Amino acid sequence: MKPAGRMVSVFGVNPMRIGGSEVFARALSERLAAQGWESVLVYQTLPEGDVRRFLELPNVRFDVLPDAWRFAAKPAAGLAAILQRYPADILHLYFTGFLSPYPWVAWLRGVRQVFFTDQGSHPEGYVATLRPLWKRWAARALNLHLDGVICISDYNVRCMLQRGLIDAARVCRIYNSVDLAAVHGDGAEFRRRHGIPADAPTVAQVSNMIPEKGITDLVEAARLVVDRIPRAHFLLGGEGRNREEFMALARKLGLESNFTWTGLVHHPIAEGLYTAADVVCQVSRWEEAFGWTIAEAMVAARPVVATRAGGIPELVREGETGFLVPKRAPEALAGRLIQLLEDPPLRARMGEAGRRMAEREFALNHNLDSLLRLYGLGVPAPPVGQ
């Protein structure tokens, strides 16, 4: 049976775990199925194992677009071939470059609407500035057939508009989302599986193991925390090129027994990583666009300590859902971690406030409603710029 419509979603990432973007892709596909639409999910590589099983639905098809983030002829030709195989009504681009030939490729293939979601974080200290006139004209020409830009934070909206590469009427903000109904795994079982003492006050961070995520700042803060709370434990989930270097630093500081390095956790929520923690950190040095792991921690009712970077202060409300600290400030970070680890009622209050905020701002179903309205598949949409 011919579908009522077809959406092609291009994710310029490898689907290696069941994280925020995979949860979103499945939920969107379910919504499209309810309207008789087909959902084509395009990744850098095909999903495998548990990730593929999670994403598979009767209306879902998979395809591959290597190097989707590159502005080059080969990815553009690859997208043209995909749109020939799957003639689309809507094309939505995620984790690809804002400036690309894709909107023109889509227009030439008869795609009715094209959207881009700006997930981009920026280097430490980044300040968006108005681009030269020729770049602004070139960007507007490239994006002539781009119907809307969805930014995942107010921070990203400001950056997008300050650069002057697209008119404000085509820009809106829809936060990244989390599934409020997701079942969080047993934290005690997660601790047992990874050898974390059941009674250890535990701080977790889930991120790439790279310097930009502030891992060395967290390790140095851990030394100060352990001086005050010897049983304190630090749970770091994630992989990356600098993981061995960070582990060596912890050993050098005599903290090896206070750290657990899990490597990549394929489904942090379902496996119980967040419920295994008393406090969750995100001490990035990058100007983060959003902070998906922060939102996931808030849904698990965990207080968060994070850096004042990019869009993070939109999630972590100082003194309400957690604490904000300066970047590269292990002493300030340690002080806030000690305060929370020593005060269970404070942790509970902040965790509950975080859960309430997630229900207001980051609820998957609510934010999907907003997106479907932009597509014209729900109730009538407000103007894109509102």
Query: In tens digits, what is the pLDDT along the chain, a chain of 386 residues?
Result: 788 999 999 999 999 999 999 999 999 999 999 999 999 999 999 999 999 999 999 999 999 999 999 999 999 999 999 999 999 999 999 999 999 999 999 999 999 999 999 999 999 999 999 999 999 999 999 999 999 999 999 999 999 999 999 999 999 999 999 999 999 999 999 999 999 999 999 999 999 999 999 999 999 999 999 999 999 999 999 999 999 999 999 999 999 999 999 999 999 999 999 999 999 999 999 999 999 999 999 999 999 999 999 999 999 999 999 999 999 999 999 999 999 999 999 999 999 999 999 999 999 999 999 999 999 997 544 444 43
Task: Tell me if 384 is assigned to some domain.
Answer: no
Helix (H) or strand (E) holding 324: strand 322-325
Task: Tell me if 383 is assigned to some domain.
Answer: no
Q: What pLDDT score was predicted for residue 378?
A: 74
Task: Tell me if 331 is assigned to some domain.
Answer: yes
Enter the tokens of residue 42: 């395009």
Its sign, for the CA torsion 296, 91, 82, 87, is positive
Q: Are residues 168 and 214 in the same domain?
A: no
Q: What pLDDT score was predicted for residue 2?
A: 80
- Degrees, nearest 5: CA angle 287-147-180: 55
Q: Are residues 343 and 310 in the same domain?
A: yes
Tell me which residue range forms the domain holding 84: 5-177+363-375
Q: Are residues 207 and 101 in the same domain?
A: no
Q: Are residues 128 and 31 in the same domain?
A: yes
Q: Are residues 357 and 371 in the same domain?
A: no
Q: Are residues 210 and 94 in the same domain?
A: no
Task: Tell me if 385 is assigned to some domain.
Answer: no
Q: How far is CA 114 from CA 148, 157, 159, 279, 333, in A?
A: 7, 18, 21, 40, 42
- Alpha-carbon distance of 84 to 111, in angstroms, equals 11
Q: Are residues 168 and 229 in the same domain?
A: no
Task: Tell me if 47 is assigned to some domain.
Answer: yes
Task: Tell me if 143 is assigned to some domain.
Answer: yes
- Report yes or no on whether pTM surpasses 0.95: no
Task: Tell me if 239 is assigned to some domain.
Answer: yes
Do the beta carbons of residue 25 and residue 11 sit within 8 Å?
A: yes
Enter the tokens of residue 231: 């049983």
Q: Are residues 338 and 367 in the same domain?
A: no
Q: Are residues 228 and 344 in the same domain?
A: yes
Domain CATH code at residue 63:
3.40.50.2000
Q: What pLDDT score was predicted for residue 379?
A: 53
Q: Are residues 68 and 54 in the same domain?
A: yes
Q: What pLDDT score was predicted for residue 92?
A: 98
Q: Are residues 191 and 263 in the same domain?
A: yes
Q: Are residues 220 and 297 in the same domain?
A: yes
Strand, helix or coil for residue 208: coil
Q: How far is CA 281 from CA 59, 170, 214, 218, 289, in A?
A: 38, 34, 10, 9, 16
Q: Domain total for the chain?
A: 2
Helix (H) or strand (E) holding 88: none
Task: Tell me if 386 is assigned to some domain.
Answer: no
Instruction: Please report, as a single letter, which amino acid is at residue 107.
Output: W
Enter the tokens of residue 209: 């193991």
